[in-house]
Chain A
C-alpha cells in the first residue's frame, strides 16, 4: 500500500487532509473487514454464544457448526462443481468477450453502437423469467444438469462485463504500438500476444474476477438447471435462509471463503492494473 516516506514538516491543511484520508481508508477497510470478522467469530461459536448479546470479540473456537457441514452429504461435490462452473465461466467469458472487446475498439463496423447496447441486454432480463424456457431447452438438448450447460448461462451473465472491460482496455492501448510490432515482423496474432496481451493482462484478470464472482454468486439458474451437479450456492444458499442462526453464519462462511481465497490469489494482477506495480 502507499506509505508516505518523506517526513517533511507539513502545513495544517495538508495535515488535516491526511487525517481525512486515513479516516477514509480506515472506514473503507472496516466496511469490508468487520462483517467478515463477525462472520468468522460466529462461525467458530457455539449456538448459545451466537444467540447471546452482546457479542464477544474473541472466537471461542467451537467447531460444532463447521463439523455439521463437514458431515453434510454432498458438500465437497458441490464445492467442486462450483469451482468448475466458475472457472469454466471465467475461461468462456474471456475467450468470447475479449475478442469482442478487441473488435469493438479496433474496427469500425455498421451497428457497432447497437451491438454495445445489445451486449448489456443480456442483463436486462431477470433469470427467474428466463429459467423456465432455458430449462426446457436444456432438458431437450441434453445440456440439463451439466456443468458446461450452467457455465454457458453464467457466461451470458458475465459477458457484458468481459466485453466492456476489455473494450476499454484495448481502447487504452495505442494502435501505434501494434503497428510498430507489425513493421518489426509480427503478424496480427503475434503482435497481439507479444505486445498487447501483456499490457492488458491485469484488466483481463479483473474481468475474470467479475466472471468468477458472478458465477459463484448465482443461485436461481443453478438451482433450476442442476440436480446431481449442484453448485455450492444452489446447494447451500437456498436452504440457509430457513436454518438456525449459527448454521447461517457457518454456511455463509463456507460460501465466502473460497471466493476470498480466489481473489487473494489473483490480487497482484488486479493491483498491477491500478498502477501499483510492486508485484
Chain B
C-alpha cells in the first residue's frame, strides 16, 4: 500500500536523520552583531579567515538569548563565543560568563564597563561605533546663514531642515523612529545630554521640557514616514531623507555606494554642549562552551590589530585597541571616522557613557524614553504631564537595578536619583 510505504519511508528517514548527528569541531560564534548578510559574509571570509574553524552565526536578539539561556539551563551546549552589545551582556548573570583574564581593550572606560560590576573581565570589548549625522550634498545649499556644518546647533538643524522643506515642499529630515530604529539612543545620548547635561537625574527637569519642545520643532520638519525608518541609509539612497541621524553602520551603505553624494558630520549641540554616546560591542565565553581553549583563542584573535582592521572593513565598527588605520579604508569608514573625530574633538563636546548597571532593566529603561517620545511628540500630550507621569517609573527602574549615575549625570552614592 502506498500509505504504508510512505510511513515506512518516513520511519526510515527519521532513523537516518537521528543517527547522523555529527560531532562538531568548529567554534560556534553566536552573535547579535554584523547581522546584515553582507557583513556576515565579510565576517566569515575576511575577519575569521585566520582563526581556524569558526562557524559565524549572527542572529536576532530573541533567538540569540533564548538559545543561550537554554544551553545555560541544560548545562551543556554548542556556543563557543558570544558576540553582542554591552547592553546584552549587562543583562546577563556574570556567573554565566567565563572570567577573561589578560585580555583587554585599549580603553580603561570600556574595560571597566566590561567587568559588569565584578572584579574580572566578563567580556572583552570587541568593537565600537557611534551615532552621527549625514546629509545629501543637495541639502547643503539650504544651510542657514553662518552655520558651520561641523558645529551645528539644534536650532540651526531645525532651521536647516525647515529651509529644505520650504524649498522642496517635502520634509526631508530622517529620524530612526521605526520599530527597529535606534531612536532611544538619540534621546539618551544626544538630546538629553545636550539640553540637560544629564540623562536620569534631569529626566523631568525644566531643561528637559525645553529639550522636548525642540524635539517637537524638529519633528515638524521631519519626514512623517520616519516612524517607519530604521536604517537611514535606505532613505538617504532613495532620496526620502536628505538630512539624517543614525548609527554609523546604519548609514554606511549610502557612503559606500555613492561616496560623492553624501557628507557625514557631528551631531548638533544644545545649551549644555554637544552630547554624544559610544556604542560598544564585546565578545564573551559562556560557561557551557564545549571547547574552552578554542573559544579563548578565538577571543584573542578578535583583539589582534589586523583582525580589528578587518572587522572595521566588514562592519564599519571601529577598533578598541590601538591600531594604525590604513589609508585605503572604504568611504563609509573614512566619512564616519572623520565625523566622530570632529564630534569628540569639538570644544563643546559633552561625551556620555552607555547606560551601565541596569542589568535586565536595560530594555525597560530604553522603552521609557521611547514611550516619552511617542506620548509627547507623536501623540502631542503635555510635556510636563508626561515627564511627571514617567518620573516614578524611571526611579523604580533605577532603584530596582541599583544602578549608579553615569556620565554626563553627576556621580551618585547608590541608585541614580531622578530629580
Q: Which residues of A contact B (CB under 8 A)?
A: 47-48, 51-53, 68-69, 71-73, 84, 88, 91-92, 95, 128, 131-132, 135-136, 139-140, 142, 144-148, 193, 197, 220, 223-224, 227-228, 230, 234, 236, 238-245, 247, 251
Query: Which B residues lie within 8 Å of A240 (CB)?
Result: 37
The answer to whether B60 touches A238 (Cβ under 8 A) is yes
The answer to whether B63 touches A244 (Cβ under 8 A) is no
Checking A53, A73, A236 against B41 with a beta-carbon cut-off of 8 angstroms, the contacting residue is A73
> How many whole Å from B249's CB to the nearest CB in chain A?
10
Checking A48, A230, A239 against B40 with a beta-carbon cut-off of 8 angstroms, the contacting residue is A239
Report how far A251 CA is from B58 CA in the complex, Å.
16
**CB closest residue in chain B, given A219:** B63
Query: Which B residues lie within 8 Å of A228 (CB)?
Result: 22, 24, 55, 78
Give the A-B pair count, Cβ closer than 8 A: 121
Query: Would you mind naming 20 contact pairs between A and B with Cβ atoms under 8 Å apart?
Result: A51-B237, A51-B238, A68-B38, A68-B41, A73-B44, A91-B9, A95-B7, A95-B10, A128-B66, A135-B74, A136-B73, A139-B74, A145-B21, A148-B17, A193-B3, A220-B62, A238-B59, A239-B36, A239-B40, A240-B37
Given A53-B238, A145-B78, A197-B3, A224:B21 Cβ within 8 A? no
> How many whole Å from B350's CB to the nearest CB in chain A?
30
Query: Which A residues lie within 8 Å of B76 (CB)?
Result: 139
Interface centre among A51, A145, A245 (most CB of B within 10 A): A51
Query: Which B residues lie within 8 Å of A245 (CB)?
Result: 234, 237
Report how far A238 CA is from B60 CA in the complex, Å.
6
The answer to whether A135 touches B67 (Cβ under 8 A) is yes
> How many whole Å from B59's CB to the nearest CB in chain A?
6
Report how far A37 CA is from B62 CA in the complex, Å.
32
Interface string of B33-57 (1 = CB under 8 A from A): 0011110110011000000000101
B379 within 8 A of A: no
Q: How large is the interface on B (under 10, 10 to 19, 20 to 34, 35 or more residues)?
A: 35 or more
> How many whole Å from B378's CB to the nearest CB in chain A?
23
Checking A68, A224, A242, A243 against B63 with a beta-carbon cut-off of 8 angstroms, the contacting residue is A224
Checking A72, A73, A135, A242 against B66 with a beta-carbon cut-off of 8 angstroms, the contacting residue is A135
The answer to whether A244 touches B17 (Cβ under 8 A) is no
Given A139-B76, A146-B21, A224:B67 Cβ within 8 A? yes
Interface string of B16-34 (1 = CB under 8 A from A): 0110011010001000000
> How many whole Å from A130's CB to the nearest CB in chain B?
10
Other 4 A-B pairs with CB < 8 A, given A139-B76, A227-B57: A197-B3, A223-B59, A223-B63, A239-B35
Given A238-B59, A242-B231, A132:B66 Cβ within 8 A? yes
The answer to whether A139 touches B70 (Cβ under 8 A) is yes
Report how far A71 CA is from B40 CA in the complex, Å.
12
Report how far A135 CA is from B45 CA in the complex, Å.
30
Given A128-B66, A224-B67, A244-B253, A142:B10 Cβ within 8 A? no
The answer to whether B37 touches A243 (Cβ under 8 A) is yes
B118 within 8 A of A: no
Given A136-B73, A136-B74, A228-B24, A243:B36 Cβ within 8 A? yes
> How many whole Å from A83's CB to the nearest CB in chain B?
12
Report how far A272 CA is from B73 CA in the complex, Å.
50
> How many whole Å from B322's CB to the nearest CB in chain A?
30
The answer to whether B62 touches A227 (Cβ under 8 A) is no
The answer to whether A242 touches B180 (Cβ under 8 A) is yes
Report how far A236 CA is from B74 CA in the complex, Å.
27
**CB closest residue in chain B, given A141:** B74
The answer to whether A238 touches B37 (Cβ under 8 A) is no
B360 within 8 A of A: no
> How many whole Å from B13's CB to the nearest CB in chain A?
7
B257 within 8 A of A: yes
The answer to whether B37 touches A193 (Cβ under 8 A) is no
Report how far A139 CA is from B78 CA in the complex, Å.
9
B14 within 8 A of A: yes
> How many whole Å from A208's CB to the nearest CB in chain B?
11
The answer to whether A193 touches B70 (Cβ under 8 A) is no
Report how far A88 CA is from B70 CA in the complex, Å.
25
Interface centre among B24, B57, B180 (most CB of A within 10 A): B57
B163 within 8 A of A: no
Report how far A230 CA is from B36 CA in the complex, Å.
17
Near A by CB (< 8 A), chain B positions 355-404 give none
The answer to whether B257 touches A47 (Cβ under 8 A) is yes
> How many whole Å from A219's CB to the nearest CB in chain B?
8
The answer to whether B66 touches A224 (Cβ under 8 A) is yes
